[in-house]
Structure 1
Protein backbone atom coordinates (compact mmCIF):
# COMPACT_ATOMS: atom_id res chain seq x y z
CA UNK A 1 0.00 0.00 0.00
CA UNK A 2 3.02 2.25 0.41
CA UNK A 3 3.43 2.55 -3.33
CA UNK A 4 -0.16 3.57 -3.93
CA UNK A 5 0.13 6.25 -1.23
CA UNK A 6 3.33 7.46 -2.86
CA UNK A 7 1.51 7.62 -6.21
CA UNK A 8 -1.28 9.70 -4.64
CA UNK A 9 1.23 12.05 -3.04
CA UNK A 10 3.12 12.40 -6.32
CA UNK A 11 -0.15 13.05 -8.19
CA UNK A 12 -1.23 15.58 -5.56
CA UNK A 13 2.19 17.24 -5.74
CA UNK A 14 1.97 17.44 -9.56
CA UNK A 15 -1.54 18.92 -9.32
CA UNK A 16 -0.33 21.53 -6.81
CA UNK A 17 2.64 22.44 -9.01
CA UNK A 18 0.34 22.70 -12.05
CA UNK A 19 -2.02 25.02 -10.13
CA UNK A 20 0.89 27.16 -8.99
CA UNK A 21 2.24 27.41 -12.55
CA UNK A 22 -1.18 28.31 -13.95
CA UNK A 23 -1.66 30.93 -11.23
CA UNK A 24 1.78 32.41 -11.82
CA UNK A 25 1.29 32.52 -15.56
CA UNK A 26 -1.99 34.42 -15.12
CA UNK A 27 -0.36 36.79 -12.64
CA UNK A 28 2.68 37.40 -14.85
CA UNK A 29 0.97 37.53 -18.26
CA UNK A 30 -2.02 39.70 -17.28
CA UNK A 31 0.03 42.69 -16.13
CA UNK A 32 1.99 42.47 -19.37
CA UNK A 33 -1.20 42.73 -21.39
CA UNK A 34 -2.29 45.69 -19.25
CA UNK A 35 1.03 47.43 -19.91
CA UNK A 36 0.52 47.02 -23.65
CA UNK A 37 -2.89 48.67 -23.38
CA UNK A 38 -1.41 51.58 -21.43
CA UNK A 39 1.33 52.08 -24.03
CA UNK A 40 -1.14 52.59 -26.88
CA UNK A 41 -1.25 56.19 -28.09
CA UNK A 42 -4.16 58.40 -27.01
CA UNK A 43 -7.09 58.87 -29.36
CA UNK A 44 -6.54 62.64 -29.49
CA UNK A 45 -4.64 64.02 -32.46
CA UNK A 46 -1.06 64.59 -31.42
CA UNK A 47 1.51 66.87 -32.99
CA UNK A 48 3.20 63.83 -34.57
CA UNK A 49 -0.06 62.66 -36.15
CA UNK A 50 -0.74 66.15 -37.42
CA UNK A 51 2.73 66.26 -38.96
CA UNK A 52 2.24 62.83 -40.53
CA UNK A 53 -0.99 64.00 -42.17
CA UNK A 54 0.81 66.98 -43.66
CA UNK A 55 -1.08 69.41 -41.40
CA UNK A 56 0.17 72.10 -39.05
CA UNK A 57 -1.43 74.04 -36.20
CA UNK A 58 -1.44 77.86 -36.22
CA UNK A 59 -2.91 80.42 -33.84
CA UNK A 60 -4.74 83.25 -35.60
CA UNK A 61 -5.68 86.35 -33.55
CA UNK A 62 -6.41 90.03 -33.94
CA UNK A 63 -8.78 91.51 -36.49
CA UNK A 64 -10.23 88.21 -37.75
CA UNK A 65 -13.80 86.95 -37.45
CA UNK A 66 -13.05 83.80 -35.44
CA UNK A 67 -9.71 83.95 -33.60
CA UNK A 68 -8.35 80.58 -32.51
CA UNK A 69 -6.13 77.60 -33.28
CA UNK A 70 -6.56 76.06 -36.72
CA UNK A 71 -5.23 72.96 -38.44
CA UNK A 72 -4.22 73.83 -41.99
CA UNK A 73 -2.24 72.00 -44.68
CA UNK A 74 1.52 72.10 -44.46
CA UNK A 75 2.92 74.63 -46.95
CA UNK A 76 0.06 77.09 -46.34
CA UNK A 77 0.44 80.85 -46.15
CA UNK A 78 -0.92 83.63 -43.93
CA UNK A 79 -3.79 83.99 -46.39
CA UNK A 80 -4.90 80.37 -45.82
CA UNK A 81 -4.71 80.71 -42.04
CA UNK A 82 -6.75 83.94 -42.09
CA UNK A 83 -9.38 82.29 -44.33
CA UNK A 84 -9.58 79.39 -41.84
CA UNK A 85 -10.30 81.98 -39.13
CA UNK A 86 -13.27 83.32 -41.10
CA UNK A 87 -11.38 86.11 -42.93
CA UNK A 88 -10.39 89.57 -41.74
CA UNK A 89 -12.72 92.11 -40.18
CA UNK A 90 -13.51 95.31 -42.13
CA UNK A 91 -11.15 97.36 -39.95
CA UNK A 92 -8.14 95.02 -40.29
CA UNK A 93 -4.86 96.41 -41.56
CA UNK A 94 -3.97 93.73 -44.10
CA UNK A 95 -1.25 95.95 -45.61
CA UNK A 96 0.75 95.45 -42.40
CA UNK A 97 0.88 91.68 -42.96
CA UNK A 98 2.42 89.76 -45.85
CA UNK A 99 -0.52 87.48 -46.69
CA UNK A 100 1.74 85.45 -49.03
CA UNK A 101 4.22 84.61 -46.24
CA UNK A 102 4.47 80.86 -45.51
CA UNK A 103 3.37 79.67 -42.08
CA UNK A 104 5.10 77.15 -39.84
CA UNK A 105 3.97 74.80 -37.07
CA UNK A 106 2.77 76.56 -33.89
CA UNK A 107 3.01 80.02 -35.45
CA UNK A 108 0.98 82.89 -34.00
CA UNK A 109 -0.51 85.06 -36.72
CA UNK A 110 -1.65 88.49 -35.57
CA UNK A 111 -3.75 90.68 -37.85
CA UNK A 112 -3.57 94.29 -36.57
CA UNK A 113 -6.26 96.95 -36.65
CA UNK A 114 -6.15 99.61 -39.36
CA UNK A 115 -4.63 102.68 -37.67
CA UNK A 116 -6.76 104.96 -39.88
CA UNK A 117 -9.84 103.62 -38.08
CA UNK A 118 -8.84 105.70 -35.06
CA UNK A 119 -9.31 108.80 -37.20
CA UNK A 120 -12.73 107.70 -38.46
CA UNK A 121 -16.10 107.73 -36.73
CA UNK A 122 -14.94 104.91 -34.47
CA UNK A 123 -12.34 107.19 -32.87
CA UNK A 124 -12.00 106.63 -29.16
CA UNK A 125 -14.18 103.52 -29.21
CA UNK A 126 -12.85 100.23 -27.93
CA UNK A 127 -13.46 97.24 -30.17
CA UNK A 128 -14.65 94.47 -27.87
CA UNK A 129 -13.79 91.81 -30.48
CA UNK A 130 -10.12 92.71 -30.85
CA UNK A 131 -9.07 94.81 -27.85
CA UNK A 132 -6.41 93.50 -25.51
CA UNK A 133 -6.58 93.69 -21.73
CA UNK A 134 -4.97 97.13 -21.46
CA UNK A 135 -7.36 98.65 -23.99
CA UNK A 136 -10.40 97.04 -22.34
CA UNK A 137 -9.28 98.42 -18.98
CA UNK A 138 -9.68 101.95 -20.35
CA UNK A 139 -13.45 101.42 -20.30
CA UNK A 140 -15.37 102.70 -17.27
CA UNK A 141 -15.86 100.02 -14.64
CA UNK A 142 -13.62 97.50 -16.43
CA UNK A 143 -10.60 96.43 -14.45
CA UNK A 144 -8.07 93.66 -14.98
CA UNK A 145 -10.44 90.87 -13.88
CA UNK A 146 -13.33 91.99 -16.09
CA UNK A 147 -10.99 92.52 -19.05
CA UNK A 148 -9.75 88.93 -18.63
CA UNK A 149 -13.35 87.68 -18.46
CA UNK A 150 -14.17 89.50 -21.71
CA UNK A 151 -11.15 88.00 -23.48
CA UNK A 152 -11.88 84.52 -22.10
CA UNK A 153 -15.49 84.75 -23.24
CA UNK A 154 -14.30 85.83 -26.69
CA UNK A 155 -11.88 82.89 -26.90
CA UNK A 156 -14.52 80.37 -25.82
CA UNK A 157 -17.53 81.73 -27.78
CA UNK A 158 -16.00 83.65 -30.68
CA UNK A 159 -16.50 87.28 -31.59
CA UNK A 160 -19.38 89.34 -30.26
CA UNK A 161 -22.14 89.76 -32.88
CA UNK A 162 -23.78 92.74 -31.17
CA UNK A 163 -22.74 95.14 -28.45
CA UNK A 164 -25.46 93.63 -26.22
CA UNK A 165 -23.67 90.26 -26.36
CA UNK A 166 -21.20 91.81 -23.92
CA UNK A 167 -23.86 91.32 -21.20
CA UNK A 168 -23.28 87.56 -21.50
CA UNK A 169 -19.84 88.02 -19.93
CA UNK A 170 -19.94 87.28 -16.20
CA UNK A 171 -19.88 90.53 -14.17
CA UNK A 172 -21.24 92.73 -17.00
CA UNK A 173 -24.62 93.78 -15.63
CA UNK A 174 -27.24 95.88 -17.42
CA UNK A 175 -26.06 98.91 -15.46
CA UNK A 176 -22.41 98.42 -16.34
CA UNK A 177 -23.34 97.80 -19.97
CA UNK A 178 -25.23 101.13 -20.13
CA UNK A 179 -22.03 102.91 -19.03
CA UNK A 180 -20.04 101.06 -21.74
CA UNK A 181 -22.46 101.02 -24.69
CA UNK A 182 -21.44 104.35 -26.20
CA UNK A 183 -17.70 103.64 -25.70
CA UNK A 184 -17.49 100.28 -27.50
CA UNK A 185 -17.69 99.06 -31.06
CA UNK A 186 -17.54 95.74 -32.91
Structure 2
Protein backbone atom coordinates (compact mmCIF):
# COMPACT_ATOMS: atom_id res chain seq x y z
CA UNK A 1 0.00 0.00 0.00
CA UNK A 2 1.41 3.47 -0.76
CA UNK A 3 2.61 5.35 2.28
CA UNK A 4 0.19 8.10 1.54
CA UNK A 5 -2.76 5.78 2.05
CA UNK A 6 -1.50 4.23 5.28
CA UNK A 7 -3.70 5.26 8.18
CA UNK A 8 -6.36 6.71 5.91
CA UNK A 9 -10.00 6.12 6.89
CA UNK A 10 -12.88 5.72 4.47
CA UNK A 11 -15.98 7.70 5.38
CA UNK A 12 -18.97 6.39 3.42
CA UNK A 13 -21.09 9.21 4.61
CA UNK A 14 -24.74 8.97 5.74
CA UNK A 15 -26.10 7.63 2.44
CA UNK A 16 -23.43 4.94 2.30
CA UNK A 17 -24.14 3.85 5.87
CA UNK A 18 -27.85 3.55 5.15
CA UNK A 19 -27.10 1.52 2.05
CA UNK A 20 -24.85 -0.81 4.04
CA UNK A 21 -27.53 -1.32 6.68
CA UNK A 22 -30.08 -2.04 3.96
CA UNK A 23 -27.81 -4.68 2.43
CA UNK A 24 -27.30 -6.37 5.80
CA UNK A 25 -31.06 -6.38 6.51
CA UNK A 26 -31.81 -7.78 3.07
CA UNK A 27 -29.30 -10.60 3.61
CA UNK A 28 -30.82 -11.40 6.99
CA UNK A 29 -34.31 -11.41 5.47
CA UNK A 30 -33.26 -13.80 2.71
CA UNK A 31 -31.61 -16.14 5.23
CA UNK A 32 -34.72 -16.08 7.45
CA UNK A 33 -37.02 -16.93 4.53
CA UNK A 34 -34.75 -19.84 3.57
CA UNK A 35 -34.82 -21.23 7.10
CA UNK A 36 -38.63 -20.89 7.20
CA UNK A 37 -39.09 -22.74 3.94
CA UNK A 38 -36.77 -25.58 5.03
CA UNK A 39 -38.64 -26.27 8.32
CA UNK A 40 -40.19 -29.81 8.75
CA UNK A 41 -43.91 -29.97 8.01
CA UNK A 42 -46.47 -31.96 10.00
CA UNK A 43 -48.76 -34.20 7.91
CA UNK A 44 -52.32 -34.56 9.22
CA UNK A 45 -53.32 -38.07 10.37
CA UNK A 46 -56.67 -39.48 9.22
CA UNK A 47 -59.32 -40.23 11.81
CA UNK A 48 -59.11 -43.62 13.52
CA UNK A 49 -62.12 -45.97 13.51
CA UNK A 50 -64.27 -46.05 16.59
CA UNK A 51 -63.34 -48.93 18.86
CA UNK A 52 -66.15 -51.04 20.30
CA UNK A 53 -65.93 -53.92 22.76
CA UNK A 54 -66.97 -57.34 21.53
CA UNK A 55 -68.27 -59.73 24.25
CA UNK A 56 -65.93 -62.67 24.70
CA UNK A 57 -63.28 -61.28 22.37
CA UNK A 58 -60.85 -58.42 21.70
CA UNK A 59 -61.89 -54.87 20.83
CA UNK A 60 -62.50 -54.11 17.18
CA UNK A 61 -63.11 -51.08 15.01
CA UNK A 62 -66.03 -50.23 12.79
CA UNK A 63 -64.33 -51.99 9.91
CA UNK A 64 -62.02 -54.95 9.82
CA UNK A 65 -58.83 -53.67 8.24
CA UNK A 66 -57.25 -57.15 8.27
CA UNK A 67 -59.77 -58.52 5.78
CA UNK A 68 -59.74 -56.90 2.36
CA UNK A 69 -62.77 -56.54 0.11
CA UNK A 70 -64.20 -59.91 -0.72
CA UNK A 71 -62.34 -61.63 2.14
CA UNK A 72 -63.79 -64.77 3.71
CA UNK A 73 -66.53 -64.24 6.26
CA UNK A 74 -66.13 -65.72 9.77
CA UNK A 75 -67.25 -69.33 9.88
CA UNK A 76 -69.35 -70.40 12.86
CA UNK A 77 -68.29 -73.56 14.65
CA UNK A 78 -70.35 -76.56 13.61
CA UNK A 79 -72.35 -78.20 16.41
CA UNK A 80 -70.93 -81.47 17.71
CA UNK A 81 -73.23 -84.35 16.98
CA UNK A 82 -74.10 -86.70 19.82
CA UNK A 83 -72.68 -90.20 19.58
CA UNK A 84 -74.82 -93.29 19.02
CA UNK A 85 -76.51 -95.15 21.86
CA UNK A 86 -75.49 -98.72 22.70
CA UNK A 87 -78.49 -100.82 23.78
CA UNK A 88 -78.73 -104.51 24.67
CA UNK A 89 -81.72 -106.27 23.09
CA UNK A 90 -82.29 -109.76 24.52
CA UNK A 91 -84.98 -112.37 24.32
CA UNK A 92 -87.11 -113.38 21.36
CA UNK A 93 -85.74 -111.21 18.56
CA UNK A 94 -84.09 -112.15 15.28
CA UNK A 95 -80.59 -110.96 16.26
CA UNK A 96 -80.24 -110.54 20.05
CA UNK A 97 -77.24 -108.66 21.32
CA UNK A 98 -75.84 -105.14 21.36
CA UNK A 99 -77.21 -102.67 18.82
CA UNK A 100 -76.23 -99.09 18.07
CA UNK A 101 -78.94 -96.53 17.38
CA UNK A 102 -78.80 -92.72 17.00
CA UNK A 103 -79.36 -90.51 20.02
CA UNK A 104 -83.07 -89.85 20.49
CA UNK A 105 -84.16 -93.28 19.22
CA UNK A 106 -87.15 -95.15 20.64
CA UNK A 107 -87.65 -98.75 21.74
CA UNK A 108 -89.13 -99.55 18.32
CA UNK A 109 -85.88 -98.40 16.65
CA UNK A 110 -83.81 -100.75 18.84
CA UNK A 111 -86.09 -103.69 17.94
CA UNK A 112 -85.70 -102.90 14.24
CA UNK A 113 -81.90 -102.79 14.67
CA UNK A 114 -82.06 -106.27 16.26
CA UNK A 115 -84.00 -107.67 13.30
CA UNK A 116 -87.43 -107.30 14.88
CA UNK A 117 -89.34 -109.48 17.32
CA UNK A 118 -90.23 -113.07 16.44
CA UNK A 119 -93.73 -113.54 15.01
CA UNK A 120 -95.23 -115.18 18.10
CA UNK A 121 -94.06 -112.48 20.53
CA UNK A 122 -96.70 -110.18 22.03
CA UNK A 123 -95.30 -106.64 22.14
CA UNK A 124 -98.18 -105.29 24.22
CA UNK A 125 -96.00 -105.15 27.36
CA UNK A 126 -93.43 -102.93 25.65
CA UNK A 127 -93.77 -99.17 25.30
CA UNK A 128 -92.41 -98.90 21.77
CA UNK A 129 -92.49 -95.09 21.88
CA UNK A 130 -90.26 -94.74 24.95
CA UNK A 131 -87.03 -92.84 24.37
CA UNK A 132 -83.90 -94.91 24.92
CA UNK A 133 -80.96 -94.24 27.21
CA UNK A 134 -77.38 -95.35 26.60
CA UNK A 135 -76.43 -98.72 28.15
CA UNK A 136 -79.94 -99.99 28.91
CA UNK A 137 -81.40 -103.39 28.10
CA UNK A 138 -84.66 -104.33 26.40
CA UNK A 139 -86.05 -107.79 27.15
CA UNK A 140 -88.45 -109.02 24.46
CA UNK A 141 -90.76 -111.93 25.31
CA UNK A 142 -88.76 -112.77 28.46
CA UNK A 143 -90.50 -112.70 31.86
CA UNK A 144 -88.94 -109.92 33.95
CA UNK A 145 -87.32 -110.60 37.31
CA UNK A 146 -89.75 -110.32 40.22
CA UNK A 147 -87.76 -107.57 41.91
CA UNK A 148 -86.59 -105.72 38.82
CA UNK A 149 -86.26 -101.98 39.33
CA UNK A 150 -88.46 -99.64 37.26
CA UNK A 151 -87.03 -98.14 34.08
CA UNK A 152 -85.55 -94.67 34.48
CA UNK A 153 -86.34 -92.25 31.62
CA UNK A 154 -83.49 -91.12 29.41
CA UNK A 155 -81.99 -87.67 30.20
CA UNK A 156 -84.09 -84.94 28.60
CA UNK A 157 -87.16 -87.13 28.08
CA UNK A 158 -90.41 -87.22 30.00
CA UNK A 159 -91.31 -90.27 32.08
CA UNK A 160 -93.35 -92.67 29.99
CA UNK A 161 -96.38 -94.38 31.45
CA UNK A 162 -96.58 -98.11 30.99
CA UNK A 163 -92.83 -98.54 30.41
CA UNK A 164 -91.89 -102.13 29.84
CA UNK A 165 -90.84 -103.90 33.07
CA UNK A 166 -88.25 -105.97 31.23
CA UNK A 167 -86.08 -102.94 30.35
CA UNK A 168 -84.88 -102.20 33.86
CA UNK A 169 -81.73 -100.13 34.16
CA UNK A 170 -79.13 -100.94 36.82
CA UNK A 171 -81.24 -103.54 38.67
CA UNK A 172 -80.02 -104.38 42.13
CA UNK A 173 -81.25 -107.25 44.25
CA UNK A 174 -81.60 -107.13 48.03
CA UNK A 175 -78.16 -107.01 49.59
CA UNK A 176 -76.73 -105.06 46.64
CA UNK A 177 -76.29 -108.05 44.31
CA UNK A 178 -76.41 -107.51 40.53
CA UNK A 179 -78.92 -109.55 38.51
CA UNK A 180 -76.98 -111.23 35.70
CA UNK A 181 -80.10 -111.36 33.51
CA UNK A 182 -80.89 -107.64 33.61
CA UNK A 183 -77.52 -105.99 34.33
CA UNK A 184 -76.25 -103.49 31.76
CA UNK A 185 -72.75 -103.28 30.36
CA UNK A 186 -71.85 -100.51 32.82
CA UNK A 187 -73.24 -102.54 35.76
CA UNK A 188 -71.05 -105.52 34.92
CA UNK A 189 -68.02 -103.35 34.20
CA UNK A 190 -68.25 -101.97 37.75
CA UNK A 191 -67.82 -105.43 39.31
CA UNK A 192 -64.33 -106.21 40.70
CA UNK A 193 -62.13 -108.04 38.23
CA UNK A 194 -64.55 -107.43 35.33
CA UNK A 195 -63.49 -104.97 32.65
CA UNK A 196 -65.40 -103.82 29.57
CA UNK A 197 -64.21 -106.82 27.53
CA UNK A 198 -65.40 -109.43 30.06
CA UNK A 199 -68.62 -107.47 30.66
CA UNK A 200 -69.41 -107.64 26.94
CA UNK A 201 -68.70 -111.39 26.93
CA UNK A 202 -71.23 -111.85 29.76
CA UNK A 203 -73.88 -109.93 27.81
CA UNK A 204 -73.06 -111.85 24.61
CA UNK A 205 -73.47 -115.17 26.49
CA UNK A 206 -76.79 -113.97 27.87
CA UNK A 207 -77.96 -112.88 24.41
CA UNK A 208 -77.01 -116.22 22.88
CA UNK A 209 -78.51 -118.37 25.65
CA UNK A 210 -81.54 -116.34 26.65
CA UNK A 211 -80.75 -115.90 30.35
CA UNK A 212 -78.67 -117.23 33.22
CA UNK A 213 -80.29 -119.95 35.32
CA UNK A 214 -77.36 -120.39 37.73
CA UNK A 215 -74.56 -118.11 38.86
CA UNK A 216 -72.13 -120.99 38.21
CA UNK A 217 -72.68 -120.50 34.46
CA UNK A 218 -70.24 -117.59 34.67
CA UNK A 219 -67.48 -120.21 34.56
CA UNK A 220 -68.46 -120.91 30.94
CA UNK A 221 -67.37 -117.42 29.90
CA UNK A 222 -63.84 -117.02 28.62
CA UNK A 223 -61.77 -114.91 31.03
CA UNK A 224 -63.61 -115.92 34.23
CA UNK A 225 -61.59 -118.53 36.08
CA UNK A 226 -62.04 -119.98 39.53
CA UNK A 227 -60.32 -117.10 41.28
CA UNK A 228 -62.41 -114.44 39.54
CA UNK A 229 -65.59 -116.49 39.97
CA UNK A 230 -64.91 -116.66 43.71
CA UNK A 231 -64.89 -112.84 43.74
CA UNK A 232 -68.11 -112.53 41.75
CA UNK A 233 -70.37 -115.25 43.16
CA UNK A 234 -71.21 -113.21 46.27
CA UNK A 235 -71.90 -110.06 44.22
CA UNK A 236 -74.27 -111.39 41.54
CA UNK A 237 -77.45 -113.42 41.37
CA UNK A 238 -79.98 -114.77 38.83
TM-score by length of 1: 0.47
Q: Which has the higher helix share?
A: 1
Largest Rg, 1 or 2: 2
Structure possessing the higher relative contact order (Cα contacts under 8 Å, 6 or more residues apart): 1
